[in-house]
Structure 1
Amino acid sequence: MKLLRYGTPGSEKPGMLDADGKIRSLENVIDDLAGDALSDASLQKIASLDPTSLPEVDASTRIGPCVAGVGKFMCIGLNYSDHAAESGMEVPKEPVLFMKATSAISGPNDDVVIPRGSEKSDWEVELGVVIGKHAKYVSESEALDYVAGYCVVNDLSERAFQIERSGQWVKGKSCDTFAPLGPWLVTRDEVADPQDLGLWLELNGEKVQNGSTKTMVFGVAHLISYLSQFMSLHPGDVISTGTPPGVGLGMDPPRYLVPGETMRLGIDGLGVQQQITVADV
């Protein structure tokens, strides 16, 4: 299934796509795409519905972030060896973990706001993993059973804030609008192998990232298991799994975002995002 949230920011309602790509409302079925609604039992209940029996939503309605109530937004750094090389960093022996503030979450087609003082805002297309049930000390062999679904993430970064201002990466990763999610939460049954997905990003119509999850250093199952050794993962938690090469930081010379540019990005089977960059006011 392709699940989504639609409506004005802060007042989104749950929905799903039907076979014709029309949005159908789940407002009277679940409260939101959050918490227990992401469990296997809930998703099976939704899957049993006839989408044509659900109210149709106007196609022009804004699409919001594909999951609500995110408690933790975990990110994995340098998880593609070729991206580590373009960043001038070594491939890590264990996953590099950092968090992104949940206040950075935005809709897949919302404007991206370049923060005040930014000179090095950058793009990163990534596979997002949404947890569906409580996970603690999970084995790698069982890890994918804890996934509700997958989505597209643009893990935007302000490189000067991230790298040059000392301390941790989080302040360069957490600016408002720096975590577009969606358009859809695609349930795990529709993703045969999360390690065989193409992902790409275009800047102003030029393809700058074009990779595959095959080249991850640490795969999705390993990441879920690894994280669960250090903290409980809860329904709605998001794991952003790293980016392939082609980010602005790695270009010669480096290339960073300015207001008025268009990013378009997607992952096989998970949909496409598009954002326009605007200046903070």
Structure 2
Amino acid sequence: MKRARVAYNGAIHHARVENDQVILADGRAVAEDRVVWLPPVEPGTTFALAINYADHAKELAFKAPEKPLAFLKGPGTYVGHRAVTRKPADAEFMHYECELAVIIGRTAREVKAKDAYDFVAGYSVANDYAIRNYLQNYYRPNLRTKNRDGCTVLGPWMVDRDDVADPMALDIRTFVNGVQVQAGNTRDMVFGVPALIEYLSSFMTLAPGDVILTGTPDGIVDVKPGDQVVTEVEGVGRLLNTIVDDETYFQRS
């Protein structure tokens, strides 16, 4: 099932998505373009992985890490499907990061990799923008790089765990203004989903609603105001986002 959170007629609704229709909990069917899309869950703790694809490490002239390189993101970073993301005037190079998002479904502590999927609620698509000239260290992205308001797009929905046969064999693609600029597959992760859950839960407790952003493959290019960016994970969804400049983002009616 595709589970979504949307705003419609002044209220927030939990919904499911079927045949281009958003089915609200009360049974009303609404066209997808009539709702405001919210992140499909209210994220708890977000764990983001740096350099978790070997080709991306090579692209950045780094060796693949020997242990997961994880950092935390605040809930204010998130926006939903069809939202805008600001490119600040001082951003010299801002790029998308198409990622498989793993959403935790139940409390997990000291989980073994072989049991990891039992603790997953489902999967979503994330686009976790980064600004290169904000980075202090590629291995430890600073707060301004990865915790800016609205810098992470999540959605459009969450696909139930059991509806994704193998999360470690999904194609990943990004399109800017209709042109494909990124391609990869989750099988190329340095640390796969089970290994990440085992690692993170070995020293802290994961809670329902926590999100793991699993990293991005190579193929990053600079985006500019006006660009439409689509990030896609096979079998999970296509996530649309538009880049705007400071003037557009902060304009007042």
Aligned to 2:227: 261
What displacement does 1:192 show?
0.6
Identity %: 36
What displacement does 1:257 show?
2.1
**Structure 1: distance between partners of 2:139 and 2:2:** 40
Aligned to 2:161: 188
SS of structure 2 residue aligned to 1:233: coil
Gaps of 5+ in 1: 29-53, 249-255
SS of structure 1 residue aligned to 2:121: strand
**Structure 2: distance between partners of 1:198 and 1:222:** 19
Aligned to 1:224: 197
**Structure 1: distance between partners of 2:11 and 2:223:** 29
SS of structure 2 residue aligned to 1:181: strand
Aligned to 1:14: 14
Please point out which of 175, 179, 185 is paired with 1:202: 175
**Structure 2: distance between partners of 1:11 and 1:204:** 32
Say if 2:100 is the partner of 1:127.
yes
Counterpart AA for 1:278: V
What displacement does 1:115 show?
2.8
1:62-92 Cα deviation digits (max 9, x unpaired): 2211111x22111011111000000111100
CA gap of 1:120–1:163, structure 2 versus 1, over 3 A, is farther
What displacement does 1:164 show?
6.5
Say if 2:11 is the partner of 1:65.
no
Q: CA RMSD in A?
A: 1.9
Aligned to 1:3: 3
**Structure 1: distance between partners of 2:115 and 2:189:** 19
CA gap of 1:162–1:11, structure 2 versus 1, over 3 A, is farther
TM-score of the pair, normalised by structure 1: 0.82
What displacement does 1:259 show?
1.1
TM-score of the pair, normalised by structure 2: 0.91
Gaps of 5+ in 2: none
What displacement does 1:230 show?
1.9
Aligned to 1:38: none
Query: Between Structure 1 and Structure 2, how many residues are aligned?
Result: 245
Counterpart AA for 1:6: V
SS of structure 1 residue aligned to 2:155: coil
Instruction: Tell me, yes or no, if the aligned pair for 1:66 and 1:182 is still in contact at 8 Å.
Output: yes
Counterpart AA for 1:16: R
Instruction: Tell me, yes or no, if the aligned pair for 1:98 and 1:170 is still in contact at 8 Å.
Output: no
Aligned to 1:45: none
Aligned to 1:211: 184
**Structure 2: distance between partners of 1:120 and 1:164:** 15
Instruction: Tell me, yes or no, if the aligned pair for 1:162 and 1:173 is still in contact at 8 Å.
Output: no
**Structure 1: distance between partners of 2:236 and 2:155:** 8
SS of structure 1 residue aligned to 2:180: strand
